[in-house]
Amino acid sequence: MFVRRRWTALATISILITAALSHPDPGAAAPAAPTITLAPTETALVRVRLADQGQLDRLVAGGADLANRPRSRDGRPVADLVLTGRQLADLTRQGANAVQVVQRADDGTRRLAESVRAAEARTRSGLRAADGADTLQFLQAYWWTTGGRTFLQAQVATTATDDPDVEITVNWRTADGATGSFPLYRFEDSGEYQYHYALPQPVPARPVQLTATSSLGGTSRPVTPALWPNAAPPPQPAGYQKDFIDAYLTPVDVRARIARLGRQYRDLVDVIDLPNRTQGYRRTAAAYLGDPAAAAVVVESVRFGDQGMDGVQVRTVDPGRPGRPLTVRYRDRVLTVSLATDSAGKVTSSTDDVAGAINARQGARFRATVEDGSAGLPMPVAGPVRLDDGLQGTEVPARPWTVQALRIGKHRDGSRVGVLAYSQEHAREWATSLVTLEFAERLLANARTDAATRQLLEQVDVFVIPTVNPDGANYSFHDYNFQRKNLVNHCTGVARDPKYRTMWGVDVNRNYTVGSLFDGYVGASANCLSGNYAGTAELSEPESRNVIDLARAHPNIRFAMNVHSYGGYFMWPPGAYKADGRVTLPRPSIDESTLFLASARRIVGAIAAERGTVTWPSQTGPVADVLYSAAGNSADQLYYELGIFAWDFEVGNDRWNEVTGQWEGVGFQPPFDEAHGESQEYAGGLVELVRVARDYAAGNPVRR
């Protein structure tokens, strides 16, 4: 699927991260021998056990490309990070160790799971009881069965919130008298204590009683864990049609699928062209004039490469005569820079001189910057070199892209409650568009043969945007599979060097207006090379404006689901907080919180009905609590500004490895069999969301 790129790609981590990695904690323990290594320039998504919380804090402050919320294992944070081999080696020297290569760059369909080493013994120290016993309270206690295995998950809070050394142990008992225990680990967010927790633990049978004890002498009251999610969808009737997904789909494929559905189901579908066309799969054309290892100037076209600039040649020449000025001429698609000479005929132009002359005299066609490290150096005679946009997707149309939505229902006039499902805001999340397309096609196909589906489409008006970010998705499929952002390049100066080309773009899901970076909220960056760059302003990008414009144009939309990957989360607002005191956006009311959680149980139950996949209770809840602060995300704007009950999926739940006894990640682009499974189970969850909307509308009819 991928071809060798003509540009050398850097990892998709901001250059700020390199600085964060270069300042190790002097108190970190000596690193153990790494179990996993990468070649220095190789990029991969790696699950890393970090040395301590301080190391994680430095990575977050540096804008690290975190795939999901860090967890705790054996008292140490575990994070999924996009890293180069050099960055992984830096982390390893600081006391971290890799436990799994989740996915490698340029290998979107290969999964390379690594077995983890045996858990290290946790040093138990600092036990303090002088102040008396603390009070313990279970915040969560749930069990479930999947794949023939029973799992238990618990969260416990202590009143000794300021004591970082408090240790909490959960003791369990099953109905047949079996007993056991496991430790919980302290979880802080933005410097604020939240609770103690652990990943789901395997137990031999249904647990009937839990207690918690602490190292300070505290003991909780016994609790009975509840079945999670304890909800199931209605059974599918005989002949129910599903499984419409048979391959990963590029944006070109998605557009063809939308067109086919529009033709096939004219009585049930409108195809909506969203109003804001994207940049398209286009970039400016660029080249190094000179040797980047010695002295070079980056010359870039002002227009896109497909607008006649690919193939333009650039060169510097020695005029061969003394006392000549620096001149710039563009003729017959060749940009010629004649270097200045002194009275002896020696070339005197520097790299800065050449870049300045190009910008001053041919600024309407070209922009030039001195390559990082080449400032002030003598400009060599070089070239000719050809400008090139570096894009590899030859079958992708090189023009602005019209994003499309499907509107599905019997009454597409605003008289029925509306549900919006949208996906692939992040380009590399290939399975997400499969989820929304499978969902759409199930509704359409079964409306002809299944009375329950036909009734749903009588009662609900469904909107689906399969690919919010088509430009970034095209780049992810054809050029760099870890691309997260769109293709708009707002960088200036040396940040426009082609070596940063895999780091350009805006994070579409950090570009919305509520709880944004521009309002002081955490979880987005002003650095154009960061993986979560928020853009130049709120709603600066056509991709984000399309989502909001569709919702504003159809006020009957009361429910929305934003489909992302990976990690197995089910979330709702608030999605952002301010760091000082961890002040979140306002919490939903009691009634709305109840609706969010009750609906989540139903939808998580529908997901589990397909192949037993259970979204963990610890990963079900407000975004800011169960994932991280995501300043300027779309769900917050839909909820707080437009009054829409807005959720987020993170498809691709961790899988239990019976051999290693560990949970392992599946990545953004798992082997297709896994992506297919995700499409089936989460499409079922979206169908249940439509039922939730129907039931809500029964007591809250749409007012036109």
Classify 272 as helix, strand or coil.
Answer: strand
Cα 332 from Cα 382, distance rounded (Å): 19
How many CB atoms neighbour CB 574 within 10 A?
25
What DSSP string describes 17-39? HHHHHTS--TTPPPPPPPS----
Cα 218 from Cα 61, distance rounded (Å): 35
| CA-based nearest residue to 437, from 223, 269, 628, 219 | 269
Q: What residues form DSSP beta bridges with 33?
A: none
What DSSP string describes 134-183? PPEEEEEEEEEEETTEEEEEEEEEES-TT-TT--EEEEEEETTS-EEEEE
Cα 587 from Cα 139, distance rounded (Å): 18
**Residue carrying structure tokens 């575990």:** 78
Cα 114 from Cα 660, distance rounded (Å): 10
Per-residue tokens: 220: 């909780």
Instruction: Please give the span between the terminal C-alpha atoms of the chain, in angstroms, as a whole number.
Output: 49
Classify 260 as helix, strand or coil.
Answer: helix
What DSSP string describes 116-138? PPPPPPPP------TT-PPPEEE
**Residue carrying structure tokens 């982390």:** 91
How many CB atoms neighbour CB 18 within 10 A?
16
Contact 20, 58 (CB under 8 A): yes
Cα 439 from Cα 453, distance rounded (Å): 12
Cα 56 from Cα 282, distance rounded (Å): 36
β-pairing, 284-291 vs 295-304, is antiparallel
What is the Cα Rg of the chain in Å? 28
Contact 30, 57 (CB under 8 A): no
Per-residue tokens: 462: 């469904």
Residues annotated as catalytic are 650
Cα 693 from Cα 704, distance rounded (Å): 17
Cα 593 from Cα 611, distance rounded (Å): 28
